[in-house]
Amino acid sequence: MKKLLIATENPGKIRELQEILAPLNLKLVTPRELGLMLKVEEDGQTYAENAAKKARAYCAASGLPCLADDSGLEVDALNGAPGLYSARYAAKPGASDADRRAFLLENLRGKPRPWLARFRATVAMLAPGGELAFAEGRCEGEIIPTERGQGGFGYDPIFFLPELDKTMAELPAETKNRFSHRARAVEAALPVLQKLF
Ligand code: ITT
């Protein structure tokens, strides 16, 4: 069975990508299983640049085909913040996902609702000796002022999907993994993955 390294350190992303990629019948491996601990500086100007940096670093370190994900939440009332900085968005160092959600809500306080927002994900794929390939996905919704649900990770408890009348964190994993930005990016990546394997 062909191996694909899921080139991320984020446990939430790993879990979701394992589920989303399961039908492809690849042997999915994680950085931890390979004993890889890379610190990739995410200083790109776009999701694609950051995803490419991660795919290149993990591919070079493992010698395996890699799929990296760079993603973020864009809130219109905050001019697209936290965007590329979603993982680092906080008032203090060492902040948790819950701190980041609280900080986001603080910054939205007093601004007129609805707080329209979208998740975006870009996946970058690279096999040794090959060329980088990219695919994107997005998921539109709105930020709500009170947390709902226990599933998912990151900003999911405050990201509401009007058409499902639920937050991302209230959805069963298999539903999130059909509607999410990440699921859509991987769906768009299927032709590339089929070529890669
Ligand atoms: P890697 O770089 O190791 O992949 P990371 O968490 O640093 O892990 P990103 O730089 O791409 O990854 O940051 C994405 C952040 O955007 C993530 O930490 C969450 O805060 C947020 N995010 C992305 N996808 C999300 C999702 O499906 N649900 C909730 N929050 C999400």
**pLDDT for 64-81, tens place per residue?**
999 999 999 999 999 999
State the pTM of this model.
0.97
Q: The tokens of 97 are what?
A: 């996902």
Ligand 1, residue 182: give the atom nearest the CA. 27
Nearest protein CA to atom 8 of ligand 1, as residue: 10
Q: Using CA atoms, how far apart are residues 22 and 62, in angstroms rounded to an integer?
A: 21
Q: Is the peptide bond before 172 cis (omega within 30 degrees of 0)?
A: no
- Residue to substitute in 36, 120, 155 for testing ligand 1 pocket (most ligand atoms within 8 angstroms of CB): 155
Tell me the percentage of the chain whose pLDDT exceeds 70.
100
Domains of the chain: 3-196 (3.90.950.10)
Kindly compute the dihedral angle of the four CA atoms of residues 152, 153, 159, 163, in this order, to the nearest 10 degrees: -20
Q: How far is the CA of 60 from the centre of ligand 1 (A)?
A: 22
Contact between 32 and 195 under an 8 Å Cβ cutoff? The reply is no
Read off the pLDDT of residues 36-57 as tens digits, 9 standing for 90 and up.
999 999 999 999 999 999 999 9
Q: What is the pLDDT of residues 112-133, one digit of tens each?
A: 999 999 999 999 999 999 999 9
pLDDT one-digit tens code per residue, 4-45: 999 999 999 999 999 999 999 999 999 999 999 999 999 999
**Which position among 43, 69, 70, 165 bears the catalytic label?**
70
Position in ligand 1 atom list of the atom nearest CA 181: 27
Q: Which residues pair with 136 in a beta bridge?
A: 122
pLDDT band at 196 (very low <50, low <70, confident <90, very high): confident
* 87 alpha carbon – ligand 1 mean position (Å): 5
Ligand 1 centroid to 161 CA: how many Å?
18
E strands within 46-196? Answer: 66-75, 115-126, 133-143, 159-161, 166-167
In this structure, which residue's CA is closest to atom 21 in ligand 1? 72
| Vertex 90: Cα angle to 85 and 94 (nearest 5) | 105
Ligand 1 atom closest to the Cα of residue 47 is 11
Closest CA to 122 of 112, 111, 133, 114: 133
Q: Is 92 helix (H, G, I), strand (E, B) or coil?
A: coil
Give 46 Cα–ligand 1 centroid separation in angstroms.
Answer: 14
Cβ-contact 137, 180 below 8 angstroms = yes
Q: Which amino acid is located at 147 in the chain?
A: E
Distances from the Cα of 42 to the Cαs of 39, 84, 88, 89, 134, in angstroms?
9, 9, 11, 13, 17
Among 13, 37, 140, 143, which is best to mutate for testing ligand 1, by the most ligand atoms less than 8 A from CB?
A: 13
* Catalytic residue flag (residue 70): yes
d(CA 68, CA 195): 17
User: How far, in Å, CA of 25 to CA of 154, rounded?
Assistant: 28
Which bin fits 129, alpha (ψ -120 to 50), beta or left (φ > 0)? left
Phi, psi of 142 (to 5 degrees): -145, 155
